Structure 1
Amino acid sequence: MSPSPASDRTVVVVPMYNEAAMVGAVVTALREVFPHVVCVDDGSRDASSSVARHAGATVLRHPVNLGQGAALQTGFDFVMRHTDATHVVTFDADGQYLVADAVTMVDLADATGVDIVLGSRNLGRTEGQPLARRMLMAAALRFSRTLTGIRLTDTHNGLRVLNRRAVAAMNLRQRGMAHASEIESRIVSASLSWREHPVTMCYSDYSRSKGQSNLNALNILYDLATDRLGAPA
C-alpha cells in the first residue's frame, strides 16, 4: 500500500490498555503508510508501551487507567501542542480495523475539506460480530441518534479522521467509552462538517475478548445521562 501525500501530514492516535499481544502488529501495519503513530498507554499492566515503542510509535503513558476517552484526549492534546499535523486518525489497538480504510478516509477528508469522517460498519461490512453485540450496537445507535440529533448509520466506531479544527473542538470530558457519543455531540455543538465512510470491522477471538460487555454499555448510558443533566443550559 502506497502512502498518499496526506499521510505525512497525519498523526494516528492509538489508545491502548493491556494490548501487548496485538499492538506491535497494529503499529507496524500503520507505519507502512503513516509515519507518525502515537500510542497512549492508559495505565497498562503489561508490556504494551515497550512493544509499541519497539514497533516505532511515540508512546505517551497514563500512570493509572483513566479510560479510552481520556487516552484519546491525551493524544489530541499532544498533536495540537507538538505537531503541525493537518489530520488525526483514531485507530483501535486490537486489530479490528483495516489500515486501507484509514488511508481512504484521510484522502477523503483531505480532498473534500470535511472536518470529520466517521467510519461505518453498517455501510461497509462486519466479519465475526456476535449476535448479542450486533443487537447492542443497534440499541446504542438509536440512543445516540436521540441524544445528538445526527442521523448516523453507526456509532461507537473507533475509526475516525478529524482535521485540526475538529481536534481542537473535542475537549472530551467523558473518560470512558461514552466519549464516542460525546464526539458526535461535539460535531453539533461546534458546527463541524461530517461524512460517513464504509469500513470493514474484523472481530477475532482476541478483539471479542477486549470488547465492551453489556454491563459496560449500561455504564455508558449512565455516563451520558449524567453528563447531559450536568451540562450548562
Structure 2
Amino acid sequence: MLHGARVAVVIPARDEARWIAEAVGAVPAFVDHVIVVDDASRDGTADLARAAGDERLEVVVHPACRGVGAAIVAGYRRARALGAAAVAVMAGDGQMDPRDLPRVVAPITSGEADYVKGDRLRHPDVWRVMPLQRLPPPPP
C-alpha cells in the first residue's frame, strides 16, 4: 500500500523466461499485487514467474498470443478486480527501474493525478543499458 491505497504492478510477458523471475523479484514491497500476464509464451515464462516465490504474485495466461496491449488490459482488469487503486506496468524483461515506481504511483495514490506515464528514454543510462533491439533511433 501507498498512501493507504492498494497498488498493483502488471507485467506483460511473452517469452521472457530469461528475465521474468528477476522482474518479479524486483517489484518493491509496498506493491500489494504482482500480476504477470503471460501472452502465450513458448519458453516456460509462466512457470518461472510462479517459481519466483512471491506471495503477491498471480499469473494470467493467454493460451493464444493476443499482443502486449491485450496483456496489459487483462492485467488492468485483474488488478481492478483485486481492488487496486493504482496500477503500474513494468516490462517482463526488466527494462524499467523498480526504484522509479514510487514516483510514478505516488501522484495517483495521493490523489494528485489520475494517470501518470514514465518515460524510460529520458533516463540518463538508457543508451548504455537498454538492449540494442529495444532502442529507438538516436535523436538528431
Q: Same fold (TM over 0.5)?
A: yes
| Equivalent AA in structure 2 for residue 76 of structure 1 | Y
Larger RCO: Structure 1 or Structure 2 (Cα < 8 Å, ≥ 6 residues apart)?
2
What is the DSSP-based 3-state SS (H/G/I as helix, E as strand, rest coil) of the residue aligned with 1:125? Answer: coil
Partner of 2:114: 115
TM-score, with structure 1 as normaliser: 0.52
- State the identity %: 28
Aligned to 1:60, what secondary structure does the other structure show?
Answer: strand
Q: Which runs of 4+ in 1 moved over 6 A?
A: none
Q: 1:43 to 1:213 in 2, by over 3 A?
A: farther
Q: What SS does structure 2 have at the residue aligned with 1:37? A: strand
**C-alpha distance after superposition, 1:24-47 (max 9, x if no partner):** 001001054423100000000011
Q: Describe the SS at the equivalent of 2:118.
A: strand
Q: Deviations over 1:169-201 (max 9, x none)?
A: xxxxxxxxxxxxxxxxxxxxxxxxxxxxxxxxx
CA distance in 2, matches of 1:7, 1:46: 38
Normalized per residue, the structure richer in helix is: 1
Structure 2: stretches of 5+ with no match in the other structure: none
SS of corresponding position for 2:60: strand
Q: Residues 26, 6 of structure 1: CA spacing in aligned structure 2 closer, same or farther, 3 A cutoff?
A: farther
Code of the aligned partner of 2:106: D
1:86 match: 85
Alignment of 1:64-143 (within 5 A): 64-80=64-80, 82-121=81-120, 123-128=122-127
Deviation per CA, 1:72-108, whole angstroms, max 9, x where unpaired? 111112122x211110001111111111111221112
Secondary structure of the residue that 2:16 maps to in structure 1?
coil
Q: TM-score, normalised by structure 2?
A: 0.82
CA distance in 2, matches of 1:30, 1:39: 12
Q: Does 1:203 align with 2:137?
A: no
Write the letter of the residue equivalent to 1:86: A
Q: CA deviation at 1:51?
A: 0.9
Query: Larger C-alpha radius of gyration, 1 or 2?
Result: 1
Structure 1, unaligned stretches of length 5 or more?
A: 130-201, 215-233
Supply the AA of the counterpart residue of 1:35: D
For residue 9 of structure 2, what is the aligned residue in structure 1?
12
- Could you tell me which amino acid in structure 2 is paired with residue 128 of structure 1? W
- Equivalent position amino acid for 1:73 in 2: V
